[in-house]
Structure 1
Amino acid sequence: MIYTWFKVALLSLVLAVAAGCSKPETPQEVAAEFWQAMAEDDAGAVAELSTLADPSAFDGFARDWFETVPDFGRVIIDEREATIVTRLPSADGASGERREVITYLVNLNGDWLVDYDRTGKAIMNPSPLDGLMGEINRLGERLSATFSQSSDDLALRMDAMAREFEAYSDEASRRAEKVMEDYGRALQEFMEELEKSIEEALEDHQQAPARDRSALQQTAADLNQSRDRLDEPDFDAFADSSRALAEAGARFSRLSDESFKSYQQTWEAKLDEISARTQAFFDDLESSGR
């Protein structure tokens, strides 16, 4: 998973610094060493790893970062700029609580450096949208991880999606109405195509076992009902659709008649398309809030 990879990468980088290894090159490496220097209150190292021109101007962003070890999330590199989702302990030291901010980086003369001023502003003057954007980032990362699993886990993947959708607030809906409408229409189209394919399979295999036919008939009915809710898309409707898709994936995997095998492959591919479109939705949703 992305989260685990970054923890491993961070530990490796810290050990590399302690051993006097080579200069960090990637945005991820620079960010990891920058925050290590912040934790050690090492103004000189902070200046070397960032755009801070003079170590004497180091202010620690008005925080004591002693022994702070951040968690890193999504990385976006856009030519000469990069952003890394960075989860830091809350300012009041509440146990287990983390605040999500962005570490900004720029590429100057071929070297990645943390944009000291911009990162500092993000920490000392947080945007009212920080909490919402943090939820979007975490959800996107979890979905990216679950979508990479095998097709045997389709039901679990879709069910997880449903639970995550419910975590969103009404405020998220208001801020991303256009993005949600577009996604709702796309989801309706996917579900309609899936429903028609199921009806076609039932028509082509009328002698299939009654148990299989009943499962597919119920799936088509559930998809139809859930699809209607998307006429007015909100996160509750998305969660309901995800449950319908989760149950569809589970039923597909339990079909016993070999004659449905080719259809199962088509349905699985359709669910994968839905997964990919959902990931794009979260990317669009994040962009809409910036």
Structure 2
Amino acid sequence: MSYAWLKVALLPLVVAFVAGCSKPETPQEVAAEFWQAMAEDDADAVANLSTLADPSAFDGYRRDWFETVPDFGRVVIEERKATIVTRLPSEDGATGERREVVTYLVELNGDWLVDYDRTGTAIMNPSPLDGLMGEINRLGERLSATFSRSSDDLTSQMDAMAREFEAYSDEAARKAEQAMEDYGRALQEFMEELEKSVEEALEENQQAPARDRSALQQTAADLHQSSDRLDDPDFDAFADSSRALAEAGARFSQLSDESFRNYQQEWHARLEEIRERTNAFFEDLGNSQR
């Protein structure tokens, strides 16, 4: 009986010990524990979770991170390197304001570690384009989301983005130009294919309810008009295309006739493809500004 009691008494200790010894495995887990260690000013933990070779060299990036709780955004993993968008409290302590930086990670001997020096450089020597980077990331998420729902303020955001680009150097603009041209071309091809598919559905289902046919006819016309604007891609054209795709997605969801069911599945799958392509575009655009 005492042996059984001993097992019960020791079980919580064993579970706690195992949990305490478990190591973070993914870049996201490592980054989260790294920033927790920074907030606790734990030099040993920071060294275990990063490329910092000696805990005595820990400098906290010359900032007090006490009780800092970061927000994490986009994660990009490329072979043995990873980046995680990290939103930290502003340096001046302004309530609610966040500064967006990047936590860099590398994989060494099968373990993900924060690249201590590179992450520190991004924090202590910020690029003048950091503000633009934040806007790129947020706008990318918003634009991608509009393909399944409407967004009233997208145009104003695009206008603000265009003004931001104008404020930076010609070199930055040149770097971004290729990414914009590639995305504009891909977006235009996609919209042309979607327009063609909608027209085929109309041709095959001439007896469909008038309401459905009218919605699809309007969709085809909107796609054609927005596609033409992409001959010379800019943020205004992207905003217009995004709005047209959002409205197309809404109309596809509201079709009532069963004859369009297979097309609906195909169209929604295509919208998901362009959402992924949009995410890639904003990632490329962000990289071009680094």
User: Could you tell me the TM-score, scaled by structure 2's length?
Assistant: 0.79
Residue 30, structure 1, aligned to residue 30, structure 2: yes
In structure 1, how many angstroms separate the alpha carbons of the residues matched to 2:230 and 2:70? 39
Match of 2:249 in 1: 249
Displacement of 1:191: 1.4
Displacement of 1:166: 5.8
| SS at 1:84 equivalent | strand
Residue 169, structure 1, aligned to residue 162, structure 2: yes
**Correspondences of 1:226-265 after superposition (within 5 Å):** 226-265=226-265
In structure 1, how many angstroms separate the alpha carbons of the residues matched to 2:80 and 2:282? 24
In structure 1, how many angstroms separate the alpha carbons of the residues matched to 2:289 and 2:200? 41
Task: Indicate if the aligned counterparts of 2:100 and 2:134 stay in contact, CA closer than 8 A.
Answer: yes
Range moving further from structure 2, 160-169 or 193-202? 160-169
Task: Indicate if the aligned counterparts of 2:143 and 2:242 stay in contact, CA closer than 8 A.
Answer: no
Displacement of 1:20: 3.3
| SS at 1:102 equivalent | strand
| SS at 1:169 equivalent | helix
Tell me: CA distance 1:161–1:204, structure 2 relative to 1, closer, same or farther (3 Å): farther
In structure 2, how many angstroms separate the alpha carbons of the residues matched to 1:213 and 1:86? 47
Displacement of 1:240: 0.9
User: Could you tell me the TM-score, scaled by structure 1's length?
Assistant: 0.79
Task: Indicate if the aligned counterparts of 1:74 and 1:141 stay in contact, CA closer than 8 A.
Answer: no
The one-letter amino acid paired with 1:83 is T
Match of 2:82 in 1: 82
In structure 1, how many angstroms separate the alpha carbons of the residues matched to 2:250 and 2:193? 18
Residue 56, structure 1, aligned to residue 56, structure 2: yes
Range moving further from structure 2, 63-72 or 188-197? 188-197
The one-letter amino acid paired with 1:176 is A
**Correspondences of 1:101-112 after superposition (within 5 Å):** 101-112=101-112
Task: Indicate if the aligned counterparts of 1:85 and 1:101 stay in contact, CA closer than 8 A.
Answer: yes
Stretches of structure 2 that go unaligned for 5 or more consecutive residues are 1-15, 167-172
| SS at 1:206 equivalent | coil
**Correspondences of 1:72-151 after superposition (within 5 Å):** 72-140=72-140, 146=145
The one-letter amino acid paired with 1:121 is T
Stretches of structure 1 that go unaligned for 5 or more consecutive residues are 1-15, 148-153
Range moving further from structure 2, 265-274 or 218-227? 265-274
Range moving further from structure 2, 259-268 or 214-223? 259-268
Range moving further from structure 2, 225-234 or 274-283? 274-283
In structure 1, how many angstroms separate the alpha carbons of the residues matched to 2:181 and 2:233? 6
Task: Indicate if the aligned counterparts of 1:161 and 1:242 stay in contact, CA closer than 8 A.
Answer: no
Range moving further from structure 2, 35-44 or 63-72? 35-44
CA offsets 1:116-159 (integer angstroms, 9 cap, x no match) = 22211111100122222233334455677x59xxxxxx641x64
Displacement of 1:162: 4.6
Give aligned-pair identity as a percent: 79
| SS at 1:168 equivalent | helix
Range moving further from structure 2, 81-90 or 169-178? 169-178
Displacement of 1:235: 1.5
| SS at 1:250 equivalent | helix
Match of 2:188 in 1: 188
Displacement of 1:283: 2.8
Tell me: CA distance 1:92–1:197, structure 2 relative to 1, closer, same or farther (3 Å): same
Range moving further from structure 2, 103-112 or 244-253? 103-112
Supply the RMSD in Å over aligned alpha carbons.
Answer: 2.9
